[in-house]
Amino acid sequence: MATSQSRSGLGAGVLFILSIACGVSVATIYFPQAITLLIASDLHVAPEAAATVVTMAQLGYALGLLLLVPLGDRLSHRPLVATLLTLTALSLLVASRAPTLSILAVASLVTGFTTVVPQILLPMAAGLVGPERRGAVTGTLLSGLLGGILLARTFGGVLGEHLGWRGPYVIAASVLLVFAVLLAIVLPKTTPTSSQRYPSLIAAAFVLFRQEPELRRSCFYQALMFGSFTAAWTSIALVLGGPLYGLGSQAVGLIALVGAASVLCTPIVGRLIDRKGSDFVNWLSFAGAILAAAILLGGQFGAHFGLMALAAGMLVLDLAVQCGQAANQARVFALRPEARSRMNTAYMTSAFLGGSAGSWIGVKAYGQWGWPGVCALIALAATAALARHAARALR
């Protein structure tokens, strides 16, 4: 368990650094979404094939969540986090030199596997504060995490246009090495909460998933919501680079920059969870995603109206997914304090398996039915989550 000494180490300054670290580390698996067309052009493959780089990174992230995040209950956080950030930086450097799509895809898989630092820091921070602050602290770190997810596309799109697709990989690796050193210095000292052997830690995620109905519910919600989120962001590069708009990767970055404004609401959502509870915020999340799908549908008309619809719709979708993430994670962290990392493993693995599936299905839906097919997929996923939530409320 966290000691009182470790609790005192999580001041506002450290919390700010942790939130930035969450964003910087997770950004490594999202900026390729903005440079898909550049990768396709340079490596002489189809854009749909280049999109597998994003899918592989998310699949690697899901594997890392399953196999690495449980170590947050078993090992001291400071050396664990610094090691993972260093390994991520090295895999990004390998990706930056990839001569073929297959090598880039494998490097992306490894990058995703080791860049699970945010999901180690989140349960750690939740254990360093009292329950009355848990929602607010979770919301603060999630604002950094989701800011990294959204601004990663701006980072990738803008730098990709000027430096080529390899440039963002090199710069991201350099920044991660800096944060590896920084967190090795400022991260609070923590005491492991478990002495279980590694195989038992891995098995614990499956055991907890079977034992905790509230965990299963949270996993179901976020798998659907995050799947719709990744479907939209993976497909939007194909829309903007296609014949309807004919824009480059920088356009994806600019739309992501608009969506990044939604991170300002995440701390507010955290405080709302502390007051109203996670279930209340879930209602807002599902309704927001359905509204976002309706707005995004306007993107099929092209011209200035279409661009405005895409920007507004992605902003609403980003906010809806952030609300759901904060609500679900706060619910999960409250279940078993002694097993937060293992609970988070089950939750985030489910979420990113949903995200990987969403990326793949989104590209398929776009190829079959165009942008309206992607919008329908988003609405369908949110409606399924809403129906499950309503059924529970009625019971």
- Say how far residue 163 (Cα) sits from the centre of its chain: 25
Average pLDDT, the chain: 88
Q: Return the number of other C-beta atoms located less than 10 Å from residue 174's C-beta.
A: 12
Please give the Cα distance from 273 to 330 (Å, whole number): 8
Average pLDDT of the segment spanning 172-196:
89
- Encode pLDDT of 283-294 as tens digits: 999 999 999 999
Please give the Cα distance from 111 to 66 (Å, whole number): 15
* Contacts of residue 323, Cβ cutoff 8 Å, sequence gap at least 6: 265, 269, 281, 282, 284, 285, 288
Residue 169, pLDDT > 50, answer: yes
- Encode pLDDT of 205-264 as tens digits: 889 999 999 999 999 999 999 999 999 988 998 898 888 998 877 787 788 777 777 777
Q: Return the number of other C-beta atoms located less than 10 Å from residue 335's C-beta.
A: 16
- Where is pLDDT greater, at 266 or 50? 50
- The model carries a pTM of 0.76
Ranges of H-type helices in the chain: 4-8, 12-26, 36-43, 47-50, 52-67, 77-96, 101-114, 117-127, 134-163, 166-186, 198-211, 213-241, 249-259, 266-276, 278-296, 303-333, 340-369, 371-394
Average pLDDT of the segment spanning 81-85:
95
Average pLDDT of the segment spanning 178-204:
86
Cβ proximity of 174 and 167 under 8 Å: no
Residue 387, pLDDT > 50, answer: yes
- 359-363-364-365 Cα dihedral, nearest 10 degrees: 100
Cβ proximity of 96 and 107 under 8 Å: no
Please give the Cα distance from 238 to 181 (Å, whole number): 37
Please give the Cα distance from 385 to 223 (Å, whole number): 9
Architecture, CATH, for domain 7-188+201-394: Up-down Bundle (1.20)
- Encode pLDDT of 310-365 as tens digits: 999 999 998 999 899 889 988 998 888 777 777 878 898 898 889 889 988 998 99
Please give the Cα distance from 369 to 376 (Å, whole number): 10
Under the banding of pLDDT at 50, 70 and 90, the label for residue 171 is very high
